[in-house]
Every structure is written in structure tokens, then in C-alpha cells.
Amino acid sequence: MTKIIGLTGGIGSGKTTIANHFRSLGLAVYIADDEARNLMQSAEIITAIKETFGNSIFENGILNRASLAEIVFGKPDKLELLNAIVHPAVKKHFKQWLLEHEKFPLVVYEAAILFENGNYKNFDWIITISAPLESRIERVMKRDGVTREQVMKRINSQWTDEQRVSKSDFVIENINSEIAKKETEEILKILKIKQNQS
């Protein structure tokens, strides 16, 4: 039976780099944020977002993600409303994806908010990627072209590294990406042994 590795970490910690490394090592990887982005283009979800947040965040019928982010980050009640629309759709989509990848003994599910929504309970092991706060802020500002204040809003809407680490089976400190990749390979060796023992 397929075992699921939950891969998480705060924004800018380098989760996607590690997820892609897992992929290069032969594992099937599900990137929840990418899939959520795709699902948010479906008619059903667009309708629900319009009903909840109004038409002003749409330009020519296309969702302006930056406007939506401005509304939800830093406002837990609004973020909860958005998550209530998107998370069930992602959960359903992942179930289907798992069926299509059942030949893989190990798969990776990568998501920023694995603990916040209680989803971590559905995985066999959890790996947290951590990185120094300043490195994370710089990465996100450079990647998304946003301000420090905007990054901090997102960081403050997520669990802290300490909270994540306390509930994780493994932690990868992503300061140097080559060292982090080597750690990933070591963890995978351990998990393959555990998989074979189960």
C-alpha cells in the first residue's frame, strides 16, 4: 500500500526545491498549491469565490490572485473562508491522484499549511523544511516581487517553525541547498526501510 510523506514548511523555506529533488529520486510528488491554483480556475470554485469575496477581485472574468491575497493574508476569518472553498476540492483531487499513482510505494504531498487545517493526520510521515527567517523573506520578495510587509503577513498567517518541528518526524534545515538535498536522500533511505518493514 502506498505510504504518503507530508512535506511542509513556511513560505520561502524551499519546500518546492526539496519536493523536486524527491521527484528526481523517483517519487511521485503532489504540489498542493499548484493543484489548488489549477482548481481555482474551475467554474464551481470561481462561483464560490465570487459569492464570498465579490467581483472586484476579477479582471475580465479572471481571478486576480494578488487582490485575493491582499484580502485574506493577515485576516484569519477571511483566510478561513477561502480555505473552506479550496481545501475540500484539493482533498478530493488528491484522492483521485493517489489512485492514479498507487503503483508508487512512496509519494510526497507538499503543502505550506499541512498542520493548520489538520491535514497532517492523513500522512504516514511528516518532513518539515525550515530556514532562517531573513533568508525566507528575501527569497519570497525576490520570487514574488512583493514587499517585506506582504511577506510577513503571509508568514504570520502560518504556524511557526517551532510548532511545525514539534509535530514532524524529520526536519531539513535548508540553508545550503546541496546539504539539504543530501539530507533528503538520507531521509528517503530511512523511509524506504520503514516502508519495506510495514
- Confidence category of residue 79, pLDDT binned at 50, 70, 90: confident
Mean pLDDT across 146-165: 92
pLDDT at position 44 is 93
Q: Is the pLDDT of residue 74 over 80?
A: no
Q: Is the pLDDT of residue 22 over 80?
A: yes
Mean pLDDT across 110-123: 89
Q: Which residue has the cell 470554485?
A: 45
- Does the annotation list 6 as a binding residue? no
pTM for the structure as a whole: 0.91
Q: Which domains does the chain have, with CATH numbers?
A: 3-197 (3.40.50.300)
pLDDT at position 20 is 96
pLDDT at position 96 is 97
Q: Residue 122 — φ and ψ, nearest 5°?
A: -90, 5
Q: Is the pLDDT of residue 166 over 90?
A: yes
- Does the annotation list 14 as a binding residue? yes
- Does the annotation list 15 as a binding residue? yes
- Does the annotation list 12 as a binding residue? yes
The CA-based angle 69-73-78, given to 5 degrees, is 95
Mean pLDDT across 15-33: 96
Mean pLDDT across 86-100: 95
